[in-house]
Amino acid sequence: MIGSIVYCNLGISPALVEHSGIYIGNGQIVELQGKSKDGKIAIVNRRQFLKNRNLPPSTIWVACYGDSTRPIGDKLVAKRAKAEVGTCRKYNLVSENCHRFTSGCITGNFKNNDTKFWALRNTIHKQWGDYCWRAWQ
C-alpha cells in the first residue's frame, strides 16, 4: 500500500540492525542511503533495498494494522518521502539515519529523535495504534 513503512534486517554481527524506508507504489521504496558522511535520499526497487543488507532469506517487512495482513499506508507519508528524493543529509549511523528519515515521513518532523528502530516503532504505534510486521509477499 502506498505510504507503507517497510524495513529489512542488516547483516551486521553479532546483532541484527534494521534498515527502514517508505513504500511509494510500483515496487518502489524511498530510503536514506548511508555512505560515511554522505546520505542521499533515493528511490530504489525491492532488490536494491535488500542489496548487501540482508542475511538470507531476504525479507522486507511491512507494518500492518493490528494483527491483520492489511498494510498501514498513508498517501501523505508517501508524498513527504517523494518530496525528499534527491536531497542529501549528513548521514550518521547513530544520529542521522534511515529511522529518523522514515519517522519524519510519518510525522512531517524530520528533526525528530527517532534514531533507533524501537523509537520508530513507537512512532508507528502512536500514529496508527496496534500493528504487526508481515513479510512482503
HEC per residue, the chain: CCCCEEEEEECCCCCCEEEEEEEEECCEEEEEEEECCEEEEEEEEHHHHHCCCCCCCCCCEEEEECCCCCECCCHHHHHHHHHHCCCEEECECCCECHHHHHHHHHHCCCCCCCCCHHHHHHHHHHHHCCEEEEECC
Give the cell for residue 117.
Answer: 528502530
Provide the sign of the torsion angle of the four alpha carbons 98, 120, 72, 47, taken in this order.
positive
What backbone torsions phi and psi does residue 2 show, to the nearest 5 degrees? -60, 135
pLDDT of residue 10: 80
Candidates 72, 115, 69, 120; CA nearest to 95 is 115
Neighbouring C-alpha atoms within 13 Å toward the C-beta of 36: 0
Q: What is the pLDDT of residues 14-69, one digit of tens each?
A: 557 889 999 999 999 999 998 766 889 999 999 999 886 656 667 899 999 999 99
**CA geometry: angle 45, 106, 66, nearest 5 deg:** 90
pLDDT, one tens digit per residue, over 66-114 is: 999 999 999 999 999 999 999 998 888 888 999 999 999 999 999 999 9
